[in-house]
Amino acid sequence: MPEPIIGAPAPDFSLPATGNRTISLADLRGQAVVLYFYPKDSTPGCTQEGQDFQQLSDEFAALGAVILGVSRDSVASHEKFRARQGFSFDLLSDAQETACHAYDVIREKNMYGKTVLGIERSTFLIDADGVLREAWRKVKVKDHAAAVLERLKAL
């Protein structure tokens, strides 16, 4: 699938989420959405990224934004990860990779000398009208959540 375009409507999705819910982008109209894709629950980089978003979650909420984390892990795995880390935001399970493909985050990676397909750490900022305003690819975790917050403030 082609990469989503800044300034165009963000690709819609409907995915199972923590809290025994299904979350759709269309249902979040009227709120900005920080949609971050990460490789795997409970790994060091993914844990740090989630903690950084959690640390700033009140500031995101004050600006009318919802934070959503997405990986291919199961909802059960997400529930454990979310509880262990105390995340107030939902984690979405994309086991079928529908949102991953819609946002073009599945990439070839080299794991221990083998080529595998996995999620490239990426974040998308979607405005209250459902329009994609910013995309970060190949995200480095350090200071990333703060950079997303600054960009949200500029909207």
Domain positions in the chain: 14-154
Question: Average pLDDT, stretch 93-102?
Answer: 96
Average pLDDT (132-145) is 96
- Is the Cβ–Cβ distance between 106 and 100 less than 8 Å? yes
Task: Give, in words, the CATH class of 14-154.
Answer: alpha beta
Rounded to 5 degrees, φ, ψ at 71 are -145, 180
Active site residue 100: no
Total Cβ atoms within 10 A of residue 14: 14
Average pLDDT, whole number, for the chain?
A: 96
pLDDT value at 111 more than 80: no
The pTM is what?
Answer: 0.95
Q: Residue 22 pairs with which residues in a beta bridge?
A: 16
Query: Which one of 17, 23, 34, 46 is the catalytic residue?
Result: 46
